[in-house]
Structure 1
């Protein structure tokens, strides 16, 4: 599959057109076009089976290179996709274990036979740095025994759960074990900004990736949304960007997705932009992330 190289100078032009001043109350100038020089940690990548033929592993790393994505958190349906990508480019991939495989999917995985055995076996075999991303569409407290086992597996390895849900399942998981580490996928996705702020404030160790929220944050291109600006500034140490490549069309649009994230990061002070782009991920996953990784595996 052919991949066209886009000059980074050209990518910077849209950012220059949208810059004005830094976030209200920040007192600092925005990083602006210099955002193009920041490495990105993509905290929500899927490499699912339908992508394997259309986007072989080498093309995924080429896409990351082209967009200054130094490293990414990868989970896949099935997990074999994550392992293929990690084995090809261990310097660029932080693997996490998604429960979905065979007939276990986002709707029924918590009730699938043998799920505990499956998860423990994969965790023992491969160096997964998280469990997820998994969905809790509707909270069913009868699943408590499985979730207690999942929390135990995560705590044994000192890794995060990556949870796609609304606020209440997060509160429920925290009620099972206050110390469980969680990355809230898509910052709640459809949760209004005020609800996102409330949950992040309620749980001071809760992290979130902002995949699919970039247009909410940037108010559909009109500038930083005031409610999201408050979230960003208040919780700047706990946010990471993401692309959410759940279907091949997201890989088709990867350039635009990463650029849309750089666009809103460009409106932040340098220190804040750096944290969300990659420094928070450095701390969370205990990695060194830099532009020096571009072009490596």
Structure 2
């Protein structure tokens, strides 16, 4: 998977962007939140705690990183699922667990071909309090997987939880064709999907949510003002977006503070009500949690 370089935003750069948001945007009812974004709690809607991170970033250090960056809570899925459970057991007040299908020799490219995948998912869902299924990849739509996806949709529907789907627009449309009422969080807002197509899909399906992990640079535009197409997305779908880090490799953990700083930098250019929705209030509503800075330093 080709991934854009992680933003390397220093605290000084963040301060500069925050200052620009105050200087160049007009003061009005929709005045940008600016420097006050520092005091807003964040919900990281796309965190992984994969096995290669366990030694380098023990569970205690993950929560400390969250604390350092004002991340009050996170939606976590892991390869294997044991990583998520380790974090959940260490800090149950800070972790919303998701069930990722990947384990053993089955990963993003072949997980739908594992014999007994439906039984594996059902067993983990019965044993642990997962609040979603995913993040999982659909690299290439294979309609022969329909029977499995119908079972997964049924598992999610029975529990009233979301599927966290990493794909382009067409697999999302296919899932909605299988069940128009399926609940979906679109990972990375489509990742490489152009902003105009992101807007089109979110307009087409009023129930879909998206996390913006790995889209920080796309959203930030030239740094002084948001990308116009992304600004339209942020305002039109402000009730359906969440930020994220995507700690899919250890280098993302190494750069976690810079990633969160880059998210605060573009959130700072939004009005307070819009910024707070995307930063944490949408997640608060979605998962039925109370999210505040009071969680920092707790488990």
User: Shorter-normalised TM-score: what interval?
Assistant: over 0.9
CA shift at 1:57, angstroms? Answer: 0.1
Alignment of 1:78-117 (within 5 A): 78-117=80-119
CA distance in 2, matches of 1:276, 1:81: 26
CA distance in 1, matches of 2:35, 2:19: 10
What residue number does 1:189 align with?
A: 191
- Determine helix, strand or coil for the equivalent of 2:130: coil
Gapped regions of structure 2 (runs ≥ 5): 1-10
- Determine helix, strand or coil for the equivalent of 1:71: strand
CA shift at 1:121, angstroms? Answer: 0.2
Greater alpha carbon shift after TM alignment, 72-81 vs 214-223: 214-223
Kindly indicate whether residue 201 of structure 2 is the aligned counterpart of residue 178 of structure 1: no
What residue number does 2:45 align with?
A: 43
CA shift at 1:22, angstroms? Answer: 4.6
Q: Measured at CA, do residues 276 and 78 of structure 1 come closer, stay the same or move farther in structure 2, by a change above 3 Å?
A: same
CA shift at 1:56, angstroms? Answer: 0.0
CA distance in 1, matches of 2:253, 2:76: 13
User: What's the TM-score once normalised by structure 1's chain length?
Assistant: 0.94
CA distance in 1, matches of 2:25, 2:127: 47
CA shift at 1:220, angstroms? Answer: 4.8
CA shift at 1:113, angstroms? Answer: 1.0
Of 125, 128, 153, the residue aligned with 2:127 is: 125
Q: What's the CA shift string for 1:93-115, capped at 9, x where partnerless?
A: 00000000001110000111110
Question: How many residues of Structure 1 are paired with residues of Structure 2 in the alignment?
Answer: 289
Q: Measured at CA, do residues 12 and 193 of structure 1 come closer, stay the same or move farther in structure 2, by a change above 3 Å?
A: closer
Alignment of 1:71-82 (within 5 A): 71-82=73-84
Q: Measured at CA, do residues 22 and 142 of structure 1 come closer, stay the same or move farther in structure 2, by a change above 3 Å?
A: farther
CA distance in 2, matches of 1:220, 1:165: 27
* Residues 156 and 162 in structure 2, CA contact (< 8 A), matched pair in contact too: yes
CA shift at 1:14, angstroms? Answer: 3.3
CA shift at 1:78, angstroms? Answer: 0.2
* Residues 17 and 223 in structure 2, CA contact (< 8 A), matched pair in contact too: no
User: What's the TM-score once normalised by structure 2's chain length?
Assistant: 0.94
Of 21, 33, 36, the residue aligned with 2:35 is: 33
What residue number does 2:6 align with?
A: none
